Amino acid sequence: MTQSNNAPLLCPSIISIGPEAQVFGVLTGSPAEGFQVGYLTEAVPATPELLAAAAPADPAEVFRAAAPCFEYRGKHFGGAKCQLATRITAMLDPVVDALPRCAIRATCRWFRQEGRAACFCCPQVTTELRNPNDLDRAAAGRS
């Protein structure tokens, strides 16, 4: 997915994966061992067929997807920043020490705002969890 400098910034953690979304990762692992994002080499459109492959789970429990950032219309945006990105980089320990291969980095809101620190935490971010722990809820702003 080639991005230009004029492309809108993308939110890398959308909950409602709709037709404008691009899937850039698949969650691997389990609740017991922890989930980790397996990054795709290219972001792919969130087609109905792709989303159906997540069944019986909700697509947001299986895929990491991005779509244009809502900015001030989004619940995590405030003070000209994505507060979710701020919380993630402040509250979560890095899980990698090198930038993961990422198909959306050029237009990722989190990377643009928080830099490499966001990328070092990103592989552990799950958009939807059935049984989040206290840290997951706090990082997501749901405590």
Taking only the tens place, the pLDDT of each residue in 9-32 is 999 999 889 889 999 999 998 777
Rounded-to-integer distance, Cα 134 and Cα 143, Å: 7
Range name among 20-34, 35-49, 52-66, 108-122 with the lowest pLDDT average: 20-34
Tens of pLDDT, residue by residue over 80-136, are 899 999 999 999 999 999 999 999 999 999 999 999 999 999 999 987 656 656 665
Per the structure block, which two tokens stand in for 31? 């609740």
Whether 71 has a pLDDT exceeding 90, the answer reads no
Average pLDDT, stretch 48-65? 94
Q: Which pLDDT score is estimated for 92?
A: 94
Record the pTM. 0.83
Rounded-to-integer distance, Cα 49 and Cα 64, Å: 16
Rounded-to-integer distance, Cα 39 and Cα 101, Å: 7
Please tell me whether residue 44 adopts helix, strand or coil conformation: strand
- pLDDT-based confidence at 7, cuts 50/70/90? confident
Q: Which pLDDT score is estimated for 129?
A: 58
- pLDDT-based confidence at 1, cuts 50/70/90? very low
